[in-house]
Structure 1
Amino acid sequence: MTSYPLRTYEDVRETLLSKGELALLDVREEDPHAQCHPLFAANFPLARIELDACTCLPRRDVPIVLFDDGEGLAARAFERFAALGFRQVALLAGGLDGWIRAGGEVFRDVNVPSKAFGEFVEARRHTPSLSAEALDALQKSGADVVVLDARRFGEYRTMNIPGSVSVPGAELVLRARALAPDPATRIVVNCAGRTRSIIGAQSLVNAKLPNPVAALRNGTIGWTLAGKTLEHGSERRFDIDAGRDPHTLDASRRSAHALATRAGVRRTSLDEAARWASEASRTTYRFDVRTPDDYEAGHAPGFRDAPGGQLVQETEMYAPVHGARVVLFDDDGVRANMTASWLAQMNIETYVVDGANRGDLTETGPYRPERPQPAPLPTISPQALAALLDDPSHGVVLLDVAPSAKFVKAHIPAAHWILRSHLAPGYDDLRNLPDARRYVLTCGSGALAAFAAADVAALTGKSVSVLDGGNAAWTRAALPTEGGASQLASPPIDRYRRPYEGVGNAREAMQAYLDWEYGLVAQLDRDGTHGFFVI
């Protein structure tokens, strides 16, 4: 039996308290992670290690501690990290159960550090809030009120408060003065639940906006529980030039810079940030906090796109190395400083780039993550695969390892969805499918399928190939797709269904989620490792 390096609960806790670098990684799928995990454990599923490791863990000597709940995933993850060249990898002694038995506090849901921080902010600053009933009455009376939705635009389009405008979190301070130029206009900030409403409203308060500001209490959940109707498919978003007037921009910039300074944010340059990123002894994350459109139009080399509101909302996923250095960039002096002010209060060493200009934004397009090359395997074109699938005598079984939600929405008609982490001895998922003479693997782009195909080849010894370009190439070839969950070979535990996302959620689940959020501050006190503060 293989012996792995171990680190104890006490050791991990001491590292967290001392702000030493540590990536505490839960290598289970998202749903089991959401049921129970330590506060600063980032969900890092075994299935995606090759895709995400080099981006999320940019230094090969970073200390990594892996855990599962007895499934054996952590040992498999250790081998994958070792194969990628990571040199300080260990398993958590006793896994999740060992953490609990040692007295460690455990949390439910996802993005818990950020959500707990939001509750911490409200408890300390008494962020103004407004009930759904009060907002509805204001709107019906014709009161001068604007509702700004701080979520990502895709979430906003799914469901939104009637009349609201999409202004994702980091854009609020930059845009709000233009969206509500009359100081008498009341501004209400909402999200689906609580965190982005609180952080968004408190951002405007901290920035000394002259308008009366409030968070919509409990967001769209609170609106639904109050019996109010949501809109769907709305397209209202802030004007791209909103907040760019020199007078308005100067006011926003000065207030954001002052807040960042009060929070302990430091300043740096693009050149210094690049030197830091090359250091072997310290992890540095570089994030561009502007909108995805801004980023793709032009960004500085080495910076990853991380819209500021989501970076504060999902901090442990963007930057899973606790104790790392974080550098932020924008082109306006507002979004990076506001985002940095919150990260610093979350006990993260944070810097903002000063002195950059448009000439420094020499790269365009989406972020291109560094990834290892998969083992070479044959590929097959969409047209050739379609021909094989039309003739059952070929004995082809098509496996799709895309996220289960995307599979349910649309997939190649013959495909069976399977968890990559279940492509290993001890799982019956593959054995329960029809006998195959040949397997073909696919996913959205083909990137994950290329790694999963090697797992299938090792497990079965049969011929395996990869759909060239994945499901996207199949769609571009105008070949048919279908939706539905009738061909799930594995349980869809890769995705935790948030009680606040989408539509049709049970009232009991939404209320239970709110009750859980209200209890997070007490859990922070019991855990004792957070280091949060509020200016």
Structure 2
Amino acid sequence: MRTPDTTTGTPAEIPAEIPAERVRALLLSRDEVVIADVREEAEYARGHPLWAANFPLSRLELDAWRRVPRRDTPIVVYGDADAPARRAIDVLRRLGYSRAHALAGGLDGWAASGGELFQDVNVPSKAFGELVESVSRTPSLSARHVQALIDSGRPPVIVDARRFDEFHTMSIPTATSVPGAELVLRIRELAPDPATPVVVNCAGRTRSIIGAQSLINAGLPNPVAALRNGTIGWTLAGQRLDRGATRAAPRTVAESHHALAVAGARAAARRAGVRSARVADLPGLREPGRTTYVFDVRSAAEFAAGHLDGSRHAPGGQLVQETDHYAPVRGARVVLVDDDGVRAAMTGSWLAQMGWDTWAISPAAPGDLTRRGEERDPLPEPPSTDAVDAATLRAWLEAGRPRTAVIDVAPSRDYAAGHVPGAWYAVRARLAAALGTIGPADRYVVTSPTGVLARFAAADLRGLTPAPVSVLDGGTAAWHAVAPLESHPARYAVEAVDRYRRPYEGTDNARTAMEAYLAWEFGLVEQLERDGTHHFRVLR
């Protein structure tokens, strides 16, 4: 039986602040709650509660409706001086969220109450992966051992469980890209001989462990192991990584292999407590007062070719890796969809072990997957503002007078890849500080990749300067359609804190950073025990 939610009431009756003890009680009773950290990602990664999800104030209008679909969901907010909780709550109320509260004392209040603070991102999933290895004793092999097997003349099948773009950036020699949800479905195409060893790798540890244990839980007869510490371990061992690899698992699966994969995935799902559903059951699963996420866990191409109306795309491996991003409402119901009888069941087996109320439509009938293309995010109407087209902006910049300052509020990665020549990078929540660096201008033009975020930022900027403020109509994409972008020089009006640089990301990470990251992951199980709010239950 679900514990009654005592935070109900009209907005006027809702307390302005909720103490940390009350938030922990909601987590322990499995009631729905969102803990929203509205700082930028780099600040969020410095420390946050286990179930806090990152909702940067800079993007709150763009993310909230998609990630928190029910407007009466309890949302507990904390931030910092650049992203005050009060300002975020005002935004949430304008978006229709009637039960947004401030965390009493903010992050300091959480820590003072004895709450654990976890560093890094996607922490619930990473901590869960460490617990899986601890409980299941997931086999692993060192980088040097795997290299010796490659050199032996009878190499193992090495499968990389990350996204393809990550695999393409850097990979283990001879590895094949098989993103996590695809492993059980496709592994027998790569290793049909039960005597062939299979090694699963990722950049660090989590997806290696979950991937290897998926194959074991689904009954693959082959010897299976995770590559200990992934590409980080490989690099620390002084071994060469491949760049630009393109090997991928076959798209088609033999009928006999498919039958074995279905049987193994369903057995694992049943053991974990995943419940089966049909498309006709969805209206009942979407009960009033309950958040229900419906995720299609297949590839992006398959989703675009045909998916269930009302579903969102979330590749199964990444969904397990990034549950805090895809499903920030802790206590919500999760319904997973596939068309093969394997991927939703196997993904569900992990979400159920992580404490989610998990259902699988596995497989959905082809006649139910009729909606095509990508799903657009639900967005509020942006503030009205003056707009300037790319040709006019180009003329202004070439003339030089009056002085036009272009401010780009894109994600820093997009800005670095290419921006309007002369544009300054700024974090929307730090526009006041950015103006101090940019200096006085006769007019300001705000841009973002499509121009949507720029409209919200321009409304903020108008309150900070008497100079005219416009947006670039169509955003940076519109400029790129008629004129080239530049990547150098880059002009950072404020520090690029919108994104946390993962120690396992890229090819130029410092050895000390990689070693510290591994040490942090090893300590997560003890942190979970101290925190006590996780509800994880690992199959034995």
d(CA) in 2 for partners of 1:432, 1:222: 41
Q: Give the secondary-structure state (helix, strand or coil) at the position aligned to 1:35.
A: coil
- Residues 362-381 of structure 1: matches in 2 within 5 Å? 362-381=370-389
Q: TM-score, normalised by structure 2?
A: 0.95
The separation in 1 between residues aligned to 2:189 and 2:437, in whole angstroms, is: 59
Q: Which residue number in structure 2 is paired with residue 416 of structure 1?
A: 424
1:72-87 correspondence to structure 2 within 5 Å: 73-87=84-98
Q: Tell me what 1:324 maps to.
A: 332
CA shift, 1:271, in A, is 3.4
**1:59-104 CA distance string (max 9 Å, x none):** 0000000012455521110000000010000000000000111111
- Give runs of aligned pairs for residues 179-328 of structure 1, distance below 5 A: 179-241=190-252, 244-277=253-286, 279-328=287-336
The structure 1 residue matched to 2:448, chosen from 443, 451, 462, is: 443
Query: Which residues in structure 2 correspond to 1:409-488 (within 5 Å)?
Result: 409-423=417-431, 427-477=432-482, 479-484=483-488, 486-488=490-492
Q: Output one character per residue of 1:213-260: Cα deviation in whole Å (capped at 9) or x when no partner.
A: 10000000000000001111111111211xx22111111011111111
Take 2:320 and 2:97, find their aligned partners in 1: how far apart are those partners? Answer: 27
Q: Which residue number in structure 1 is paired with residue 4 of structure 2?
A: none
Moved more, 449-458 or 117-126: 449-458
Could you tell me which amino acid in structure 2 is paired with residue 475 of structure 1?
H
Q: Relative to structure 1, is the Cα distance of residues 296 and 72 closer, same or farther in structure 2, using a 3 angstrom cutoff? A: closer
Paired position in structure 1 for 2:520: 516
1:51-90 to structure 2, matched below 5 A, reads 51-69=62-80, 71=82, 73-90=84-101
Residue aligned with 1:379, SS: strand
Amino acid at match of 1:414: G
Q: How does 1:25-104 map to 2 (within 5 A)?
A: 25-69=36-80, 71=82, 73-104=84-115
1:8 corresponds in structure 2 to 19
**Map of 1:339 onto structure 2:** 347
Q: Partners in 1 of 2:466 and 2:262 — Cα distance?
A: 61
The DSSP-based 3-state class of the residue aligned with 1:326 is strand
Report the more deviating stretch, 322-331 or 264-273. Answer: 264-273
**Aligned partners of 1:224, 1:354: CA distance in 2, in Å?**
39
**Take 2:235 and 2:270, find their aligned partners in 1: how far apart are those partners?**
39
Pairing partner for 2:529 from 520, 525, 531: 525
Report the secondary structure of 1:90's partner residue.
strand
> Is the 1:55–1:370 contact (alpha carbons within 8 Å) kept by the matching residues of 2?
yes
Specify the alignment match of 1:131 in structure 2.
142
Q: How far apart are residue 354 of structure 1 and its match?
A: 4.7
Compute the RMSD of aligned alpha carbons.
1.5
The structural deviation recorded for 1:297 is: 1.0
CA distance in 2, matches of 1:429, 1:143: 58
Pick one of 502, 506, 509 that aligns with 1:502: 506
Residues 356 and 428 of structure 1, relative CA distance in 2, 3 Å threshold: closer
- Equivalent position amino acid for 2:531 in 1: D
Aligned to 2:391: 383
Equivalent positions of 1:346-365 (< 5 A) are 346-354=354-362, 356-365=364-373
Structure 1 residue 522 displacement after superposition: 0.4
Q: Which moved more, 1:222-231 or 1:385-394?
A: 385-394
- CA offset at residue 154 of structure 1? 0.6
Q: Give the aligned residue type for 1:466.
A: V
**Any idea what the Cα deviations from partners look like across 1:468-488, whole Å, max 9, x if unmatched?**
2222222222x1222146410
Partner letter of residue 255 of structure 1?
A: G
Contact 2:338 2:363 in 1 (8 A): no
Matches of 1:450 and 1:121, distance apart in 2: 45
TM-score by length of 1: 0.96
Q: Which amino acid is the alignment partner of residue 450 of structure 2?
A: S
Shift in Å at residue 352 of structure 1? 0.5
Deviation at 1:441, TM superposition (A): 1.2
Deviates more, 1:450-459 or 1:341-350: 450-459
Distance 1:399 1:269 in 2: 49
Q: Which moved more, 1:480-489 or 1:305-314?
A: 480-489
Identity over aligned pairs, percent: 54
Q: Secondary structure at the match of 1:439?
A: strand
1:180-201 per-position Cα deviation (integer Å, ceiling 9, x unaligned): 1111111100000000000000
CA distance in structure 2 between the partners assigned to 1:447 and 1:36 by the alignment: 30
Q: Which runs of 5 or more structure 1 residues have no equivalent in the other structure?
A: none
| Cα drift, residue 126 of structure 1 | 0.4
8 A contact 2:189–2:250 mirrored in 1: no
Q: CA deviation at 1:410?
A: 1.6
Distance 1:211 1:64 in 2: 46
Q: How far off its partner does 1:268 sit?
A: 1.8
Alignment check: 8 A CA contact 1:273 1:286 kept: no
Q: Structure 1, residues 144-165: CA drift from partner, whole Å, max 9, x if none?
A: 4111000001111111101111
Cα distance in 2 for partners of 1:454, 1:58 equals 25
Contact 1:57–1:321 (CA<8 Å) still a contact in 2? yes
Check the 8 A contact 1:29/1:493 in 2, yes or no.
yes
Structure 2: any 5+ residue segments left out of the alignment? 1-11
